Structure 1
Amino acid sequence: MGVVADKKVTRAWAMYDWANSVYPLVVTTAIFPIFYEKISTGPDGSDIVNFFGFDVVNTALVSYVSATMFVLVSILSPLLSGVADYTQRKKFFLKFFFVLGSISCASLAFFKMEYLELSMLIYLLAGLGFWASLVFYNGFLPLIAPREQQDAISAQGYSLGYIGSSILLIICLALVMGVGMDARLSFVITAIWWMGFGFWSVKKLPEFPVKIDPKVPVFSKGFYELRQVWKGLKNTPRLKRYLSSFFVFSMGVQTVMIMAVYFGTKEITWASEDEKTVGLIVSVLIIQIIAAPGSKGLAWLSTKIGNVKALAVVLLIWCVLCISALWVTTPVHFYVIAGFVGLVMGGVQSLSRSTYSKLLPDTEDTTSYFSFYDISEKIGLVIGILSYGLIEQLTGSMRNSIFALIVFFIVGLLILLSMPKEERAYLKK
């Protein structure tokens, strides 16, 4: 399945994390939530916006649009992964989606409440480009590295992503707070970084041809292969059990990533608007700075106690953090929580990806398996984000939405711990 790891290739692969991670940090996590909350809150403090004639809570609207985007990714991923395999152009589709994402990201500079529907469409396309590109990007991991190196290489990618995105966020923060640059220009700077480093990274990745069955139509090949993956799970119980756990706990992880700053804008008591802006971005930087060593630290822990136990430790910490967040009201408490979130954020993402890669059966068709992985994550995200948004819409408080996250982490942990010892042992090979 894999080849002997070539350091130049694995470094180039990891650099795409450096390229694309600026979008989820600078745009969806840091600057856009603060920018959006300001322009979507009325002079009277109302957080209700009109979207296609419906009155919606502004942050709940972001949840709904994000959920729609993930549904689209779930539909497009198998369709395009089949085309990518058939045409042997994985790199082309990776490029296509990061170009779509980066151009849409730059277009967010024109985001206006007067054109909220069009503005949200641009936001959706930027996210679509980011998440769809990861389907093809992740599929390269088992092809460029042997199983025993995948934890470390996956962690290297996430670490580079956290470091690079932190650097750009600091630059954007300095320009916005220091010289008064319009926050919208941060979206343009992020797009340039993403596209520039993205082309440099992908250029150095090799192409891996996949054997094609001419009897299977190209446009249905991806769905056909997903059915084959689903059938194959019956013969790979360790993978089936792990995916069930991942499906549930990723609902919580990804929802926290997308909605954390929105929580900070509404549920934390800030002394002023300036303190809120600076405080929220500082909390994001705390997460980023701690996430890089946290990712590598969990990779090290997995070599000592195994992937399953290491993931179980992290999920237990997530449960404690979510329960603690129910009582977080002050900036200091928010910073403390942010520090612990950073410790486990990068690690759970990195180890989740490499654990799945190590559990795959011997196959050259890794794109379809990672397409299945990504679709599982996206469907989980749809459930997680919709739950979060609906609870806020119905109760009027984001704090109540945390209860859904607690349930996701506890259920995911219990499923993970139900994996038989002989299946856990497979991960130590």
Structure 2
Amino acid sequence: MQTKNDKKTIRSWAFFDWANSAYNLVITSTIFPAYYTTITSDKDDSTIDYVYFFGYKIVNSALYSYAMAFAFLVIALLSPILSSIADTRGNKKIFMKMFTYIGAVACGTLFFFEINAEKGVDTLNFSIIMFVLAAIGFWGSLVFYNSYLPEIATVEKQDDVSAKGYMYGYIGSIILQIICFVFVFKPEWFGIVDASIPARLSFLLVGIWWIGFAQIPFKNLPKGSPDYKAEKKNIMTSGFQELNKVWKQVKQMKYLKRFLFAFFFYSMGVQTVMLIAALFGEKILHLPTSKLIATILILQLVAIPGAMLMSYLSSKKFGNVNVLIGVVTIWIGCCIAAYYIDTELQFYALAAVIGLIMGGIQSLSRSTYSKFLPQHSPDHTSFFSFYDVTEKVALVFGMFSFGYIEVLSGSMRNSVIALALFFVLGLVFLLLLKKVQPKAVVVD
């Protein structure tokens, strides 16, 4: 039986965030979107940038949004199957490893992403597929990573442990980001003359970093809490049966159910904003790559104290639901502000605010959900699979609607306003949760 609150186990668990958050920063937030936009642009601000994906003509940023939405859809379909197997056989760590290796190797192959008419090179089709696989690897591994939280920490420690994971993630990703910066901004130090090499080398480094540091949690985390039964089941259907079983339990837990509705709607906004921030800065404000990367790096730095602050306020002052209400309200204001910004300084100020609340809302959402769960249930992975499926389906809607509204209206600004509406719906459900039981998730 695994002892909870063991410092070595918690540190090892947090190092998984250290390992994989490099993907989240370099691939989804900074270098990759900036590089993607640059090589798929015609360099004319008065025209719309199109690419050809397997023969289909599509707006470059819309393809990016649709690719991410597809990755989230795959995860939403796969995670119930895999998590139920992990719960019944107690081998969730195997699936953490599998998704980690898929994601990290896919990141590494993005080194070959290049569009160069002079050299006759165009690997867009292959690279978008690898981009999708990298996303599947990252988000798929988090299903099993998150489910360890109630197994390694008691209820009163889960806010702090969850925040510690995000803190490790931000620190680790920033370190690798700085290393990548050296190649991106000073390629001459290494005799690099091909302008595409520094960004592509960063993608390779992410894969190596991800696999390397993931060995720490792989070595020290328990393999899972087994509840194995020998009867034969159809693995393609048993996962969804397990998800249906969890949903039936959730329907009997009215506070958890209302929280999940709130989480579904505000997650449409949170993750979509994080995934398109760099594209927005480049396409709407025409900021250079160096300034975009520096801005998002600062955003990551601000997110560290943000996650710690939210943990403190929820555990010691106001309770989880009240803090989430305040944070979601700030997110609504950020979306409205994004619609109107026109200057570089305004973009930096908005990024600073988003950074402060970004890590906090993710960390607090995870620990709030964990606190609502039956703490001694053997089905933690299935419960967290349900949580992750909720988030991924939300992201499918969020990313697809963002891309579709941009194509329909011709402007990302209108897509941002749609995100504000998602946050409003999330806020409504949080307020309903507060009225029912404002201290539902506060530890006595």
- TM-score bracket, normalised by the shorter chain, equals over 0.9
Structure 1 stretch displaced more, 168-177 or 258-267: 168-177
* Alignment match, 1:142: 150
Q: Is this contact kept in 2: 1:95–1:199, CA < 8 A? A: no
CA distance, structure 2, for counterparts of residue 407 and residue 86 of structure 1: 39
Query: Pick from 345, 348, 355: which aligns with 2:358?
Result: 345
Aligned ranges 1:153-164 → 2 under 5 Å: 153-164=161-172
CA distance, structure 2, for counterparts of residue 338 and residue 415 of structure 1: 26
Q: Is this contact kept in 1: 2:89–2:228, CA < 8 A? A: no
Q: Is this contact kept in 1: 2:250–2:257, CA < 8 A? A: yes
Q: Is this contact kept in 1: 2:90–2:223, CA < 8 A? A: yes
CA distance, structure 2, for counterparts of residue 23 and residue 287 of structure 1: 16
Deviation at 1:421, TM superposition (A): 4.4
Q: Is this contact kept in 2: 1:77–1:132, CA < 8 A? A: yes
CA distance, structure 1, for counterparts of residue 176 and residue 332 of structure 2: 31
User: Which amino acid is 1:64 matched to?
Assistant: Y
Deviation at 1:87, TM superposition (A): 3.1
CA distance, structure 1, for counterparts of residue 65 and residue 381 of structure 2: 28
Deviation at 1:88, TM superposition (A): 2.2
Alignment deviations for residues 336-359 of structure 1 (CA, whole Å, 9 cap, x no partner): 111000000000000000000000
Q: Is this contact kept in 2: 1:2–1:142, CA < 8 A? A: no
Identity %: 48
* Alignment match, 1:48: 50
Deviation at 1:24, TM superposition (A): 0.9
Aligned ranges 1:345-424 → 2 under 5 Å: 345-362=358-375, 363-421=377-435, 423-424=437-438
CA distance, structure 2, for counterparts of residue 41 and residue 131 of structure 1: 28
Is 2:332 the partner of 1:331? Answer: no
* Alignment match, 2:110: 108
Alignment deviations for residues 179-232 of structure 1 (CA, whole Å, 9 cap, x no partner): 345210001111111110011222110123332344561513321111111100
Structure 1 stretch displaced more, 205-214 or 245-254: 205-214
* Alignment match, 1:186: 202
Deviation at 1:315, TM superposition (A): 0.4
CA distance, structure 1, for counterparts of residue 431 and residue 43 of structure 2: 50
CA distance, structure 2, for counterparts of residue 400 and residue 251 of structure 1: 15
Q: Is this contact kept in 2: 1:102–1:194, CA < 8 A? A: yes
Aligned ranges 1:28-107 → 2 under 5 Å: 28-42=28-42, 44=44, 46-107=48-109
* Alignment match, 1:211: 227
Q: CA RMSD in A?
A: 1.5
* Alignment match, 1:288: 300
Q: Is this contact kept in 2: 1:105–1:190, CA < 8 A? A: yes
Which structure 1 residue ranges, 5 or more long, are not aligned?
271-275
CA distance, structure 2, for counterparts of residue 409 and residue 360 of structure 1: 24
User: Which amino acid is 1:351 matched to?
Assistant: L
CA distance, structure 2, for counterparts of residue 419 and residue 250 of structure 1: 17
Q: Is this contact kept in 2: 1:150–1:357, CA < 8 A? A: yes
- Secondary structure of 2:328's counterpart equals helix
* Alignment match, 1:278: 290
Which structure 2 residue ranges, 5 or more long, are not aligned?
116-121
* Alignment match, 2:17: 17
CA distance, structure 2, for counterparts of residue 102 and residue 293 of structure 1: 28
Shift in CA distance, 269/93, structure 1 to aligned 2, threshold 3 Å = closer
Q: Is this contact kept in 1: 2:324–2:364, CA < 8 A? A: yes
Instruction: Give the number of equivalent residue pairs.
Output: 424
- Secondary structure of 1:41's counterpart equals coil
User: Which amino acid is 1:315 matched to?
Assistant: V
Is 2:169 the partner of 1:167? Answer: no
CA distance, structure 1, for counterparts of residue 186 and residue 358 of structure 2: 29
Is 2:216 the partner of 1:196? Answer: no
Deviation at 1:43, TM superposition (A): 5.2
CA distance, structure 2, for counterparts of residue 80 and residue 226 of structure 1: 11
Shift in CA distance, 2/296, structure 1 to aligned 2, threshold 3 Å = farther
CA distance, structure 1, for counterparts of residue 43 and residue 153 of structure 2: 55
User: Which amino acid is 1:150 matched to?
Assistant: Q
Alignment deviations for residues 317-351 of structure 1 (CA, whole Å, 9 cap, x no partner): 10111111111121111111110000000000000
Shift in CA distance, 151/216, structure 1 to aligned 2, threshold 3 Å = farther
Shift in CA distance, 61/157, structure 1 to aligned 2, threshold 3 Å = same
CA distance, structure 1, for counterparts of residue 2 and residue 243 of structure 2: 21
Q: Is this contact kept in 2: 1:250–1:380, CA < 8 A? A: yes
Is 2:27 the partner of 1:27? Answer: yes
Alignment deviations for residues 344-400 of structure 1 (CA, whole Å, 9 cap, x no partner): 000000000000000012412100000000000000000000110001111111111
- Secondary structure of 1:150's counterpart equals helix
User: What TM-score, normalized to structure 2?
Assistant: 0.93
- Secondary structure of 1:212's counterpart equals coil
* Alignment match, 1:273: none
CA distance, structure 2, for counterparts of residue 269 and residue 130 of structure 1: 29
CA distance, structure 1, for counterparts of residue 437 and residue 231 of structure 2: 35
- Secondary structure of 1:268's counterpart equals coil
Is 2:275 the partner of 1:227? Answer: no
CA distance, structure 2, for counterparts of residue 4 and residue 423 of structure 1: 28
User: Which amino acid is 1:96 matched to?
Assistant: M
- Secondary structure of 1:96's counterpart equals helix
Q: Is this contact kept in 1: 2:90–2:228, CA < 8 A? A: no
Deviation at 1:54, TM superposition (A): 1.9
Q: Is this contact kept in 1: 2:328–2:427, CA < 8 A? A: yes
* Alignment match, 2:135: 127
Shift in CA distance, 406/44, structure 1 to aligned 2, threshold 3 Å = closer
